[in-house]
Amino acid sequence: MKNNWIILFVISFSISGISQNAKTKRFTFSKKTVKQLVQLPLKCVETEFPNKLSQVIGDESCLKTPKELHPSFFGCFDWHSAVHGHWSLVKLLKDNPKMESYSEIMRILKNHINKENIAIELKYFDDKYNKNYERTYGWAWLLKLAEELHTWQTKDARVLEKDLQPLTDLIVNKYIAFLPKLNYPIRVGTHTNTAFGLNFAYDYANTLHNVKLQKAITKRALYFYKNDANCPINWEPSGTDFLSACLQEATLMRKILGKKQFTPWLKQFLPELLNKKYQLTVGVVSDRTDGHLVHLDGLNFSRAWCLNEMARDIPELEHLHQIANEHIRYSLPNLIGDSYEGGHWLATFAIYAIDSQ
List, for residues 106-131, the tens digit of each pLDDT value: 999 999 999 999 999 999 999 999 99
CA dihedral sign of residues 45, 148, 136, 112: negative
Residue 3 has pLDDT above 50, yes or no: no
Calpha distance 226→243 (Å, rounded) = 20
Report pLDDT digits (tens) over 185-202: 999 999 999 999 999 999
Residue 26 included in any domain: yes
Digit-coded pLDDT (tens) for 43-66: 999 999 999 999 999 999 999 999
Q: The sheet that has 10-15: what strands, in order across it?
A: 10-15, 18-21, 27-29
**Cis before 237 (ω within 30):** yes
CA angle, 343 then 161 then 153, to 5°: 90
Q: What's the pTM? A: 0.94
| Number of domains the chain is built from | 1
The domain containing residue 214 runs over which residues? 10-355
Angle at 111 between CA 105 and CA 113, to 5 degrees: 95
- Evaluate whether residue 3 is within a structural domain: no
**What CATH number is attached to the domain comprising 117?**
1.50.10
In this structure, the number of other CB atoms found within 10 A of the CB of residue 174 comes to: 18
Is residue 216 situated within a structural domain? yes
Q: Are 74 and 82 in contact (CB under 8 A)?
A: yes
Poorest-pLDDT segment among 12-16, 99-103, 152-156, 236-240: 12-16
5 in any annotated domain: no
Task: Give 262 or 5, the one with higher predicted confidence.
Answer: 262
On whether residue 1 sits in a domain, the answer given is no
**Is the pLDDT confidence value at 6 over 60?**
no
**Helix axes of 137-150 and 155-178: crossing angle, nearest 10 degrees:** 150
Give the Cα separation of 217 and 43 in Å (integer): 35
Predicted pLDDT of residue 16: 54
**Average pLDDT of the chain to the nearest whole number:** 93
CB 62 within 8 Å of CB 323: no
> Would you say residue 101 lies in a domain?
yes
Q: Which residue has the higher pLDDT, 11 or 340?
A: 340
Q: What whole-number percentage of the chain has pLDDT above 90?
A: 87
Closest CA to 168 of 54, 256, 83: 83
297 is a domain residue: yes
Confidence of residue 15 (pLDDT cuts 50, 70, 90): very low
**pLDDT confidence bin for 1, thresholds 50/70/90:** very low
Q: What is each CA distance from 133 to 63, 124, 161, 271, in whole angstroms?
A: 16, 9, 22, 37
Who has greater pLDDT, 13 or 313?
313
How far apart, in whole angstroms, are the C-alpha atoms of residue 77 and residue 81? 7
Tell me what percent of the residues of the chain surpass a pLDDT of 70: 94
The answer as to whether 4 is a domain residue is: no
